[in-house]
Amino acid sequence: MFDNIKPLCDISIVSVICGNSTHSLGSGQAGLTGTGIVLKADFPALEKIQSASLSELMASSAEGSQLSLDIKLAQMATSDLISLVRTSDLTTHDLVADELETFVDIARVTARGLQKLNARVSGAVDHILAANEYALHILESEVSKSPSTSLLQTVWPWPWSLTDAGSDAHRAVLVTTTFQDVMNLFTIQTSRVVLQCECALTKLDRLEEHLHVINDMLSREHMSITGEHSQVLSELWTMLGGNRRRLWNIDQRLDLLRNVGEYRIRALTHVGRTMRLVLAMSENMEELRLRVATPILVEDRIPIEIQLHAIKASIDRIKENRRDARERARKTADEIPLLDGT
């Protein structure tokens, strides 16, 4: 007669609140392990990773903005140099001018690549901040919920309520899944920054290659280019009389051309440092991912209050660092030199 009646804890709704349920947290852990999802939330450890890397990452963004501007201005100065080459007495003046035009195009793309890298870093920080704020909202909402008195609590004869276990199980799953969401977004954003770094490095290498090409072409013209290839544009400008002609901001353009090689080296250092920071973050995240994927005892879980404190601290620190980075970027923009006519 009662053979077809399921045990109480096998009913889906009741199983969530059974203290020894294999359908609630235990089942969830098995499923989490199978899909690579974490078993333990550790926002304090995540906050340490963010604090150690994001602040330095944002601090370098202002330098990246300045480097992008420097290369852009050098590109404009090189455009003026092209007109001098085309009207010069060089045997291969058209070939040299064509190569300079190619160099200008690459410099333009390189400057844009540095801008994209800075935008990617800024966007990644904004996404990570939004994810932290999302996690804070979800967990605060969970903490603010007051325990309700259900019919099952009323009829349950023992002091310990089945709903206590259900509530704890639900909270544990909520915290771990929220933590998993934040970790996944963090990983995606850092991966995108790494890809943008690789693109920027490729463009900087092409810039260097074309400086070599220009230097080789001028050497075949038997011109006395005595400096390094990174100085060739400024020397060419001087040799062709660019410093004696009435072009705009002669001295400023000469300085820009003279420092093209330095801009590239500084940009290369900046992009390399950015990549190292992001890769270090990725490695730390993988270590954390492995650590939180290890099965744990219930008493080893970090209390939700401590998780909330870590999230709040991370949000405050990111906002402060972002505010400082934006202020530095604003000052850089205010100091942009103008290539006005004189």
What angle, rounded to 10 degrees, do the helices at 162-220 and 93-144 form? 170
Q: What is the CATH number of the domain that holds 314?
A: 1.20.1170
Mention every residue, 6+ apart, whose C-beta is less than 8 A from residue 77.
252, 253, 254, 256, 257, 339
318 occurs within a structural domain? yes
Amino acid at 235: E
- Report the predicted TM-score, pTM, of the whole model to 2 decimal places: 0.75
159 occurs within a structural domain? no
Q: pLDDT (tens digit, 9 = 90+) per residue, 80-110?
A: 888 888 888 888 889 989 999 999 999 999 9
118 occurs within a structural domain? yes
CA gyration radius, the chain = 30
Q: Which two tokens stand for residue 136?
A: 């804070």
2 occurs within a structural domain? no
287 occurs within a structural domain? yes
Residue 33 pLDDT class (50, 70, 90 cuts): very low
Q: Which two tokens stand for residue 77?
A: 């100065």
Q: pLDDT (tens digit, 9 = 90+) per residue, 249-291?
A: 667 777 888 888 889 999 999 999 999 999 999 999 888 988 8
Collapsing DSSP to helix, strand or coil, 11 comes out as coil
C-alpha to C-alpha distance for 224 and 30, rounded to whole angstroms: 74
C-alpha to C-alpha distance for 8 and 157, rounded to whole angstroms: 16
Of 249, 201, 232, 247, which is closest to residue 99 (Cα–Cα)? 232
316 occurs within a structural domain? yes
> Is pLDDT larger for residue 116 or for residue 159?
116
* Count of H-run helices and E-run strands, the chain: 11, 0
C-alpha to C-alpha distance for 142 and 261, rounded to whole angstroms: 56
219 occurs within a structural domain? yes
Determine which helix (DSSP H) or strand (DSSP E) holds 255, and give its type and residue range: helix 250-258
27 occurs within a structural domain? no
Domain count, the chain: 1
C-alpha to C-alpha distance for 232 and 215, rounded to whole angstroms: 6
Of 186, 172, 171, 173, which is closest to residue 130 (Cα–Cα)? 186
Distance from chain centroid for Cα 169? 35
Q: pLDDT (tens digit, 9 = 90+) per residue, 138-160?
A: 999 888 874 544 444 444 444 44
> Is pLDDT larger for residue 43 or for residue 51?
43
